[in-house]
Structure 1
Amino acid sequence: MKKSVLFSIIAVLSLGFTSSFYAVEAKQKLPVSVLDISKDNTYPNPSHNIPYLQPSELAKNLMESSSVEIQNPDLIKILNETTISDSPLAFGYRAKIYLGQWALNYESSETVPNWEYQKVNTNYFDNRGGAAPVQITYKQEEQKSVSGGLTGEVPMKDDVKNMMLLKAAEKSGLPLAFETVIGAGTKKDQIYNVPLKKMGYLFAYAPAVNEKGKVTYGEVYIVLKGNKKSIVVQNVTSQGIGAWIPVQDHISFGYSLTDQPR
């Protein structure tokens, strides 16, 4: 490579993102049965503010030159840390630099919440032989870990999960994470009445979002022709994929009265 053209790529070591895709208010309206337990949870889940990486001017120009949209934060990070000098002596210079096979973008087709994704707790009271109505409230009996994940196998699954998480959080406005924990002893003060001759069951569920869409892959090259710089993507393929992504620090409650044990 001629000295008039300097090209360097610095390996991705960490993601120093500061901005977020999260909306101030959830775009997905919560049912009255779903409560935020972030202030009550005895287990401090790590914050999952979803980052949005702002491309540099060079990265933006390179991405705009691509025939395939680039969303992958790791690839954008590499482009941000790439430098290509302009020089009048570069006339006639040509180079094609291979950056590897990448999961380039994710296109969402459906983002649907399941408010009763996984049952995490049951509180009950048997008042069939009682002398007066009683009241019960939610108390988490034991710590529960709720995990999501991809519904199928795809290449570069970590990159795919990150892009799906970004898109699902952007569309729903919900605090999503592929794992959330409800700590033992977590409580809410909502009261549920158990009348005489009845058994009251209070079920607690961890909600999740079912995200579905399409991921696009391709081989990425930076092409230099004189002072012109562009990205060329070859061998483009697409694959459908789905994922379950839990809603962090939220519980959905269901209450029922019965005459017999359940």
Structure 2
Amino acid sequence: MKRKLVFIVAVMLIFGLFAGTVMAEGTNKSKGEKADKFKIPSSVLDISQDNTYPNPTQDLPYLQPSKLTKELINSADVEIENPDLIRILNESAIQTSPLALGYRATIYLGQWPLNYESSETSTNWEYEKINTNYYDNRGGKTPFKIHYKQEMQKIVRGGLTAEIQDADEVKKMMLIEASKKTKLPLSFTTIIGGATKKDQVYNVPPKRLGYLYAYAPAVNEKGKVTYGEVYLVLKGSKKSIVVKNVTHQGIGAWIPVQDHVSYGFLVSETPR
């Protein structure tokens, strides 16, 4: 009986170790897959040093909440991430007195998009075609080298996939979340200047036409926005935020990757 008990315990320990190993491998694999999901492929090059149009650095509109703002945010039943609302709370000052017994006030701060919750983030490395370089080498006897040169200035714009209330504030929250997840330089507008070049060489064989296509990549962000009516409530020396009439709305957005170009090279016997 004792041997049987020892055997069962041993089997359970071995199974536990094996399960733990499998779980660890699964977790590591999951983390690896998540990291690879946003890894920049070799066909995408950084043109920040080559771009003839200097795009301004996109400063994420995140604000560090003040001590008072943190206290108010933590008192709310709904998570508050809207940087514009945080800025207003940061600029506010509330003086209360422990002797203010019976003092009571409710201040309506308006309806706000309070937070954005991401459900899916993906990349499209060929979001918008911005340029084509080509060479006809059908009469040539040796390979001809071509490289990327932007023929005309191109403005690439992203945006929300549907109309939504307080769109600018929603875009800020989506930009923060997408940048955090992908670690990519994102902006709703990016410009590729005319005559921007890259030294990467592509060979067009004899008796062939070569096409070098350039694309602006972008991130597709999907999730939901939480709206609510925000009230500042003062009771004696206590202060808090109360959120009423909470609603949710699904939304998506395309956000271009700033100063990056994806290249596709095609060789053909006939014109395309």
Output the TM-score relative to the length of structure 2.
0.85
Q: Following the alignment from structure 1 to structure 2, what is the Cα–Cα distance between the partners of residues 84 and 49?
A: 30
Q: Following the alignment from structure 1 to structure 2, what is the Cα–Cα distance between the partners of residues 141 and 26?
A: 32
Structure 1 residue ranges (4+ consecutive) displaced by more than 6 angstroms after TM superposition: none
Residues 27, 173 of structure 1: 8 Å contact kept? no
Matched, 1:247 2:257: yes
Q: Displacement of 1:132 after TM fit?
A: 1.6
Deviations 1:122-160 (A, max 9, x none): 001111111221110000011000000000011010100
Matched, 1:189 2:199: yes
Q: Following the alignment from structure 2 to structure 1, what is the Cα–Cα distance between the partners of residues 36 and 96?
A: 45
Match of residue 80 from structure 2: 70
Q: Find the residue that maps to 1:170 and give its secondary structure.
A: helix
Letter in 2 for 1:90: A
Letter in 2 for 1:257: V
Higher share in helix: 2
Match of residue 104 from structure 1: 114
Q: Displacement of 1:92 after TM fit?
A: 1.3
Q: Displacement of 1:52 after TM fit?
A: 2.3
Q: Displacement of 1:111 after TM fit?
A: 1.0
Q: Following the alignment from structure 2 to structure 1, what is the Cα–Cα distance between the partners of residues 209 and 267?
A: 6
Identity score, percent = 69
Deviations 1:81-128 (A, max 9, x none): 111113122111111000001010000111101000000000011111
Letter in 2 for 1:88: P
Residues 131, 150 of structure 2: 8 Å contact kept? yes
Q: Which residues in structure 2 correspond to 1:96-245 (within 5 Å)? A: 96-245=106-255
Match of residue 28 from structure 1: 38
Higher share in strand: 1
Q: Following the alignment from structure 1 to structure 2, what is the Cα–Cα distance between the partners of residues 114 and 27?
A: 11
Distance 1:26 1:37, change over 3 A: farther
Letter in 2 for 1:126: D
Letter in 1 for 2:109: L
Q: Find the residue that maps to 2:271 and give its secondary structure.
A: coil
Letter in 1 for 2:42: V
Q: Find the residue that maps to 1:136 and give its secondary structure.
A: strand
Q: Following the alignment from structure 1 to structure 2, what is the Cα–Cα distance between the partners of residues 181 and 97?
A: 44
Gap regions ≥5 residues in structure 2? 1-34
Gap regions ≥5 residues in structure 1? 1-24
Residues 27, 171 of structure 1: 8 Å contact kept? no
Q: Find the residue that maps to 1:88 and give its secondary structure.
A: coil
Cα RMSD, aligned residues only: 1.4
Match of residue 91 from structure 1: 101
Q: Find the residue that maps to 2:93 and give its secondary structure.
A: strand
Q: Find the residue that maps to 1:84 and give its secondary structure.
A: coil
Letter in 2 for 1:125: Y
Q: Following the alignment from structure 1 to structure 2, what is the Cα–Cα distance between the partners of residues 85 and 145?
A: 49
Q: Displacement of 1:27 after TM fit?
A: 8.7
Q: Following the alignment from structure 1 to structure 2, what is the Cα–Cα distance between the partners of residues 26 and 164?
A: 21
Q: Following the alignment from structure 1 to structure 2, what is the Cα–Cα distance between the partners of residues 130 and 247?
A: 38
Residues 141, 207 of structure 2: 8 Å contact kept? no
Q: Which residues in structure 2 correspond to 1:50-61 (within 5 Å)? A: 50-61=60-71
Count of residue pairs brought into register by the alignment = 238
**Larger Rg, first or second structure (1 or 2):** 2
